[in-house]
Structure 1
């Protein structure tokens, strides 16, 4: 039994190593601004997943396409083995799942939660003692698996409406929704007559006066894109923005190139989530801004930047009452809000990413940027 446990642990570590290698290679391949734009567009359509996991899904699906196992080069909807079953669909024989990174969590308890050394790990089924505070923390990673809808068959999925836009037009309610969020952060929004009024820019965020300005002489789509860009600055780069004290935020403030990349990327993801044409969104070469932080690994800078962009975009999108494209989850998938213990044993290549376990996994995944 001890040999089996050790062999199982070694097999899991080997799979994790392989996934980390694949992830590093895929992120390292983001060389140009065009590559970055395509990666974020894909992430916008799979925004229920972390940036790292969207990259893993993208590259593995493309590999499957090259081998002729799937018919399209990009996936449509992905879900775990048992999640597909809840929708009346089955993974087809011979279809391998796409490995992703999922956190392993454990329960901890403490009588003095402000003391980081006071937390003790609870055993399986153990409950906190009277007076103790309990929290769930991530203690590691495990490989999990998802499949694209094209790798399954069974009941048809519900039809999901997609936003349709005319060139130059903005989605209904998007300007108003973004403007409300700018004002909710304590900034006033002004529409100026032209670029000359704000130093030749399309938009400007002034943290000293807490004012956001946007040119009024652009078409609706351009105005919305600019407003989303400035909202990105407001949320990520204001001295009192939420999370502005973390290392990534400080890097962005100190290195103007990263701050502009983050703001433009937030605008890009919000636009892509609404079906806007994002081909005109401009991001400089990844190699230039990813190398601007002294002593930092460019791949890690890209991953941190992308995850900050994704989580910020999600905060914006979740508050908008607008028609948006899907988030990568199959239409009709209902996630349970309660957690049940996931069985420790599973069939090879099958996911424990079940509706019961997913809410906790997703919450932790977003928090740690997996």
Structure 2
């Protein structure tokens, strides 16, 4: 093996250059989300690769499609991806000369957390001060590679059956699970006979009375989607009393619709009936913020809320993008799961590439009743 003669400064500069290049690739990918259908397909893909951050799913999607167009992989969408060592763990090897897909991997470090929640990074061998607790926390990212199943060879990977549903049918347990989560958050679930009773909407949240209304005259799948849309408002914290929420009504509706879309896609429900406006119509309305950042932050909030809802559902779901049987303790999995970096990361740490809103900033509508205006 050739000896690495670079200095520490040169190694850092090289890594930062790779991170910058990956950021540019990610920005280009986000910029390609133009129409509502582009966004819908991105969220649907993220639902099937929900083990990874939205930005990483976008990078995987874009690079796999480029490989497909070049004739390097047989399908435009990968079945699953994993790191080099992770494939070895599963009895498979990356094909000789196969180029991997570059993504962001989290970098964690020992930090001392004070009683007020602030923290500082600890040097090697350094201990905490009195009153501090030592924890491991994500402080940055590094570039790494994953390969799709199609670029590996070896032991067969068992296929996880995807949910199969009849037209209009809701997955078993989905409605009940969503209803339970609505009630667990202190809301009463009520039913309306038709759209006229809800001002033309499929469903509605009344925050002032802590009630959620859903139309009864819809097929089971449509009822479940509409209920999930309203639960998305609740989980995402779309309180109409907050000024920030009233200022960004368009983003709020995109978030709730996308949360429902992601939950639906994870259950094998059709998603082509979801209506999302052109990305530019809502991403450019956050004053003083780059639309690319708005898209990334919105996607991160959507993913966080959708994963919270999915975690509370005892239902049969589609695979999450990891090969069956994969342990995250191998290869790329030595890093913590793909979570978002915490606010107040160590000064000088690399930009995380995830563009997350660590304050959990919420956007919602100005009306007391947040209804399902897009009628999923």
Answer yes or no: same fold by TM over 0.5: yes
**Which sections of structure 1, spanning at least 5 residues, go unmatched?**
337-350
Deviations 1:78-100 (A, max 9, x none): 11111111100111101111111
Q: Distance in 1 between matches of 2:245 and 2:147?
A: 35
Deviation of 1:63 after TM superposition, in Å, equals: 1.3
Higher deviation after alignment, 123-132 or 85-94: 123-132
Deviations 1:172-219 (A, max 9, x none): 110000000011111010111101111111101010001000000001
Deviations 1:284-335 (A, max 9, x none): 1110011111111111001100110011000000110100001100011123
Deviation of 1:9 after TM superposition, in Å, equals: 1.5
| 1:19 alignment counterpart | 22
Q: Residue 50 of structure 1 contacts residue 365 of structure 1 at CA under 8 Å; is this kept in 2?
A: no
Superposed CA RMSD in Å reads 2.3
| 2:282 alignment counterpart | 289
| 1:347 alignment counterpart | none
| 2:115 alignment counterpart | 113
Q: Residue 168 of structure 2 contacts residue 221 of structure 2 at CA under 8 Å; is this kept in 1?
A: yes
Deviations 1:50-109 (A, max 9, x none): 111101111111111122211111111011111111100111101111111122222122
Change in CA separation of 1:97 and 1:124 when aligned onto 2, cut-off 3 Å: farther
1:1-370 superposed matches below 5 A: 3-109=6-112, 112-114=114-116, 116=118, 119-128=119-128, 132-239=132-239, 251-336=244-329, 352-354=331-333, 357-358=334-335, 360-364=336-340, 370=354
Change in CA separation of 1:105 and 1:56 when aligned onto 2, cut-off 3 Å: same
- SS of the counterpart of 1:353? helix
Q: Residue 182 of structure 1 contacts residue 231 of structure 1 at CA under 8 Å; is this kept in 2?
A: yes
Deviation of 1:29 after TM superposition, in Å, equals: 1.0
Change in CA separation of 1:234 and 1:120 when aligned onto 2, cut-off 3 Å: closer
Deviation of 1:138 after TM superposition, in Å, equals: 3.0
Q: Distance in 1 between matches of 2:338 and 2:320?
A: 13
- SS of the counterpart of 1:237? coil
Q: Distance in 1 between matches of 2:89 and 2:353?
A: 27
Q: Residue 45 of structure 1 contacts residue 272 of structure 1 at CA under 8 Å; is this kept in 2?
A: yes
Q: Distance in 2 between matches of 1:161 and 1:134?
A: 42
- SS of the counterpart of 1:209? coil
Q: Distance in 2 between matches of 1:352 and 1:335?
A: 8
Q: Distance in 2 between matches of 1:233 and 1:366?
A: 23
TM-score, structure 2 as length reference: 0.85
Deviation of 1:120 after TM superposition, in Å, equals: 4.5
Change in CA separation of 1:266 and 1:221 when aligned onto 2, cut-off 3 Å: same
Deviations 1:225-257 (A, max 9, x none): 1000010111123439xxx98xxxx64442111
TM-score, structure 1 as length reference: 0.87
Q: Residue 83 of structure 2 contacts residue 147 of structure 2 at CA under 8 Å; is this kept in 1?
A: yes
- SS of the counterpart of 2:144? strand
Q: Distance in 2 between matches of 1:313 and 1:35?
A: 19
**Which sections of structure 2, spanning at least 5 residues, go unmatched?**
344-351, 355-376
Q: Residue 237 of structure 1 contacts residue 259 of structure 1 at CA under 8 Å; is this kept in 2?
A: no
- SS of the counterpart of 1:362? coil
- SS of the counterpart of 2:136? strand
Deviation of 1:125 after TM superposition, in Å, equals: 4.9
Q: Residue 110 of structure 2 contacts residue 135 of structure 2 at CA under 8 Å; is this kept in 1?
A: yes
Deviation of 1:369 after TM superposition, in Å, equals: 7.8
Q: Distance in 1 between matches of 2:236 and 2:247?
A: 13
Q: Distance in 1 between matches of 2:37 and 2:115?
A: 46
Q: Distance in 2 between matches of 1:238 and 1:261?
A: 12
